[in-house]
Structure 1
Amino acid sequence: MEITTKSFEELSTKELYQILQLRSEVFVVEQDCVYQDVDGKDEKALHVMGIKNENVVAYTRMFGPGDYFKNPSIGRVVVAKEERKYGYGKIIMQASIDELGKRFPKNTIELSAQTYLLKFYNGLGFVVQGEEYLEDGIPHVRMVKN
């Protein structure tokens, strides 16, 4: 899997289509959650794509301080179902953490994590901050990494 990071303006139509298709497959269909994925925030985000055989199979979007949360943040972390056995979630997250570290050194990184993935994010150095809450009907917690 090859990792690439692009601004919204740099994304090709094909890449954008594949990103939105992957997010819809996992967050809407697989997780059976009806919500507005196209939320108007993609234009501010940096898009980290894991590409395999010319297809986006893993993805995150990142924001600078104040663009989404107070701190730099990572969201929409997703890996295609058939690709999860290869550890691509950890790879795409580490690439995102590294990229934010380069762009915003010495900043805390923040995310809103689905509660069932706490162990995954703990393994990447994130810790829970605050109480569990519902986001689009799914339990989440705020997590930070210093």
Structure 2
Amino acid sequence: MGGVNLEHLEAAQMFLFGDVKFLHLLLLLMFLDILTGVFKAAKNRNLWSRKSLFGYARKILILVVIILANVVDQILGLNGAVTYATVLFYLANEGLSILENLAAVGVTVPGGLEKRLKTIQEQEENNITSEIKEEFTTKRSGQNEN
């Protein structure tokens, strides 16, 4: 009979993701981050398809980083330590992003977290990436005026 050989699929899954702890939780948080991000963008009337496309691409790249961490773990025989640490980092990152989106939409967040989020937002606004982005935006608008 010409059926599908699931052994190859299982081998690929094991090589790519191994026995990654909390991967399902990370995928759930990624989905919730996208959902709350859409609500935030809708509230701010900033629903821009290219911006969301970059956000989706970042989520895919996070999975690529986890795959790389898993490959390093398997090559070095570290029993998932690098992958586990990587997933924990991205879990915290997604959780903060969800809280930030909820606070922007108007959902009440605990006071201590709200202060920390404001500090993080201020740091993001003052970082070099936003300065470069602003520089390119300013130059573009200046060229359009000529």
TM-score (norm 1): 0.36
Higher helix share: 2
Compare relative contact order (CA 8 Å, sep 6+) and give the higher one, 1 or 2.
2
Larger Rg: 2
Higher strand share: 1
TM-score (norm 2): 0.36
